[in-house]
Chain A
């Protein structure tokens, strides 16, 4: 089949827009395969510089391009300036590698990273010339398949997708491609093809499920599983990390070689969706990490390696890994970084190890709550004593800046807890100054970031109300009037944005209409502060007689149906309910990768187990 090359129509537009490097492809590591019979467009619903670093797309790009006869290409949403020109000139959404129309691919895989990118997905589909609703697509249109973090409550955006993969894609993506190719060879219709896809474990086909009783109850039609259980790979070592990925020309977020050193986290923080849905913990071995880190640097030419995961300091052989990498990279100018750190002495030791005598960039810690009682409620197993000791360590070791993350609106929070944040920050500041030589005390800075808790599906707090917008503003006021000013930089997560996230995150399929209406009235790039307009969303909710505040702030009964009941992350609701009860009595739960099993049911349900490279401490 001859494929259209849109480059001759794109290039003349580049002189009229900002940052053309977003669109030119040809980066080191970009894979070009003109002859593949089956073509996959891997799309990230935001601009190139936001999406390029996405590790899931990097993994799938690698897996798919190594399949016989399959080519995967990248697609990002152009920035508003180019979108306007494309619409004016009638140029469709294009892939980077072959600059082909996205609608000419066999399948489009879209990762769904965050609620506020949902309108971007509609913009991409529309710019590609495809119907935004799966039910309106034609027989010959590509299949549109979603996946990623938001897939654990897929209902609000389900009508826009032909299928959605729940969980990890390393193995499942090849099965989806194989099933689709077989269906094409057999001349199956679109509906028949989707029925075949629904037979693959972890694949949710929204058109095979109906919503009853509002939208909070979803049931399967014959031929589809009543509950779709997430996919999970048993052993990371069987799926080597990509070491020769795309190295962008332009300055993108996380512009470094990133290596996933472990997956999953069972610290059991009760607010944390990632901690619940990416279980169990699976670590890569020290040998594999050192091998892949060195290979990644050699192949990419990056001067920084980031060892990523939900909690890298938990890796049982992290110290060995850092020492070995430090020796191998000595004198090369290549540095190592760790994303966020646990609040403990070991983490500071590790940070010292990688900083050596060089630059001490900021350290980030997340106490999350201002009082011990509330930290126990959320199962954030950090004591104030540990925090102050960690701060003392860090400032004695030469750090002068620390970032602290807190949340307001956590279940059971009282004004005392809110005021506790300012008090704790004050004590952290005193500890930091006391550990800093007198002549350097002026440079001690604490960046305090305060977000509003948004309850998420598949967590022990999935039944809890989010606090109202007025209440957010009142509690922010309490903090503002009580937190120390000197040396403290205070950052807020926007209250409107949090309330919208809250309404979208736990909504059902009825909200798809709202998303479409918001997009049709101009909502796009909602995650970009300067582009976000709350009024557009409020009008869109009103147009469908829905109240976002009601969705976010309603208390759900433990036994009432939830819109994500047909999706399983492996963690049982019995466990979630038990954790909720323990939260309400401020009783903590251990981490099963350090101590015994806590009965979340993931391992028996998914036939997997915790896999460690050593002993955790």
Chain B
């Protein structure tokens, strides 16, 4: 990368069937889109040259995203709307870029700075009741700590820290929506679906399926203010 490269931030969706892609698969697919769009991407120096790009926090397989981000470094300034149009024409529809913007070369790295995720969890099931779900979530939050065991390791989340906003529950056809905001920490992030499942399991609230979408990602500044990356 040269000091003169232009840092282009792309906001894209990961929706429809492509929610089933892994992070690595998304990374590869979008790098290929950038090549197909013939953007003047920068190439790293060294033994194994590759496109200079950086991706925002990973989404798990099965989780969709409405506003996901990647940064690509370009060697030439390229008109924003032309670049967006070229990218859209070179990307599978369900990964299509939505907005792009140049950001400061020295802006914080997107994998580290993007700490606030807003999620929508669709809970399907005939007898799922909004108030019941709201009560389940409130009870879990009231416990103050959330403990998960994964592969023999125990992880403890401080809920006041991990869930900085009161969850909100709404009715949808055939079930309910939960909107849950999660703050990631360097030590690991709470998976919203795992939290919701645990909350519903405690009171044996039954449901048929759960689908998660990350609606938005925010950067949290030192004063605690949240801002959109684009």
Which residues from chain A contact B31 at a C-beta distance below 8 Å?
301, 303
Which segment, of B44-52, B109-117, B140-148, B219-227, faces chain A? B44-52
Which residues from chain A contact B18 at a C-beta distance below 8 Å?
24, 26, 249
Which residues from chain A contact B28 at a C-beta distance below 8 Å?
249, 251
Q: Which of B35-53 contact A (CB under 8 A)?
A: 35-36, 38, 43, 47-51
Cβ contacts A17-33/B at 8 Å (1 or 0 each) = 00011011111100000
Which residues from chain A contact B93 at a C-beta distance below 8 Å?
26
A359 within 8 A of B: yes
- A26 near B49 (CB under 8 angstroms)? no
Q: Which residue of B lies closest to A99 (CB)?
A: B17
Q: Which residue of A lies closest to B16 (CB)?
A: A26
- A20 near B36 (CB under 8 angstroms)? no
Chain B, interface size category, equals: 20 to 34
Which residues from chain B contact A23 at a C-beta distance below 8 Å?
20
Q: In the docked arrangement, what's the CA distance between A357 and B24, Å?
A: 28
Q: Which of A1-51 contact B (CB under 8 A)?
A: 7, 11-12, 14-15, 20-21, 23-28
- A21 near B47 (CB under 8 angstroms)? no
Which residues from chain B contact A20 at a C-beta distance below 8 Å?
20, 61-62
- B25 near A21 (CB under 8 angstroms)? yes
User: Smallest distance from the beta carbon of B45 to chain A beta carbons, Å?
Assistant: 11
- B36 near A298 (CB under 8 angstroms)? yes
A210 within 8 A of B: no
Which residues from chain A contact B20 at a C-beta distance below 8 Å?
14, 20-21, 23-24
User: Smallest distance from the beta carbon of B176 to chain A beta carbons, Å?
Assistant: 18
Which residues from chain A contact B35 at a C-beta distance below 8 Å?
297, 301-303, 332, 334
Q: In the docked arrangement, what's the CA distance between A457 and B64, Å?
A: 51
- A21 near B36 (CB under 8 angstroms)? no
Which residues from chain B contact A298 at a C-beta distance below 8 Å?
36, 38
User: Smallest distance from the beta carbon of A2 to chain B beta carbons, Å?
Assistant: 21
Which residues from chain A contact B90 at a C-beta distance below 8 Å?
301
- A333 near B29 (CB under 8 angstroms)? no
- B47 near A28 (CB under 8 angstroms)? no
User: Smallest distance from the beta carbon of A150 to chain B beta carbons, Å?
Assistant: 32
Q: Which of B71-118 contact A (CB under 8 A)?
A: 90-94
A358 within 8 A of B: yes
A340 within 8 A of B: no
Q: Which of A238-286 contact B (CB under 8 A)?
A: 247, 249-251
Q: Which residue of A lies closest to B211 (CB)?
A: A15
Other-chain contact of A301, B25, B33, B50 (Cβ < 8 Å): B33
Most B C-beta atoms less than 10 A away, residue of A11, A249, A334: A249
- B36 near A359 (CB under 8 angstroms)? no
Given contacts A21-B20, A298-B36, A303-B35, contact A358 B47 (CB under 8 A): yes
- A249 near B21 (CB under 8 angstroms)? yes
A331 within 8 A of B: yes
Q: In the docked arrangement, what's the CA distance between A538 and B48, Å?
A: 48
- A359 near B25 (CB under 8 angstroms)? no
- B21 near A21 (CB under 8 angstroms)? yes
A65 within 8 A of B: no
Cβ contacts A289-308/B at 8 Å (1 or 0 each) = 00000000111111100000
- A25 near B17 (CB under 8 angstroms)? yes
- B17 near A12 (CB under 8 angstroms)? no
Given contacts A15-B62, A26-B92, A26-B94, contact A247 B32 (CB under 8 A): yes
Q: In the docked arrangement, what's the CA distance between A28 and B30, Å?
A: 11
- A27 near B43 (CB under 8 angstroms)? no
- B43 near A331 (CB under 8 angstroms)? yes
Other-chain contact of A21, B22, B32, B34, B91 (Cβ < 8 Å): B22
User: Smallest distance from the beta carbon of A489 to chain B beta carbons, Å?
Assistant: 23
User: Smallest distance from the beta carbon of A75 to chain B beta carbons, Å?
Assistant: 17
B204 within 8 A of A: no
Q: Which residue of B lies closest to A29 (CB)?
A: B92
Cβ contacts B142-179/A at 8 Å (1 or 0 each) = 00000000000000000000000000000000000000
- A359 near B48 (CB under 8 angstroms)? yes
Which residues from chain B contact A12 at a C-beta distance below 8 Å?
209
Q: In the docked arrangement, what's the CA distance between A26 and B91, Å?
A: 11
Which residues from chain A contact B48 at a C-beta distance below 8 Å?
358-359
Other-chain contact of B25, A7, A249, A300 (Cβ < 8 Å): A249
- B43 near A251 (CB under 8 angstroms)? no
Given contacts A14-B20, A333-B51, contact A28 B32 (CB under 8 A): yes
Q: In the docked arrangement, what's the CA distance between A28 and B18, Å?
A: 12
Which residues from chain A contact B17 at a C-beta distance below 8 Å?
7, 11, 24-26
B residues bordering A, Cβ < 8 Å?
Answer: 16-18, 20-22, 24-25, 28-29, 31-36, 38, 43, 47-51, 61-62, 90-94, 209
Across the A-B interface, give the 7 residue pairs with the lowest CB-CB distance, nearest first: A301-B32, A20-B20, A301-B36, A301-B35, A333-B43, A24-B17, A249-B25
Interchain Cβ contacts under 8 Å between A and B, 6 examples:
A251-B25, A297-B35, A301-B32, A333-B43, A333-B49, A358-B47
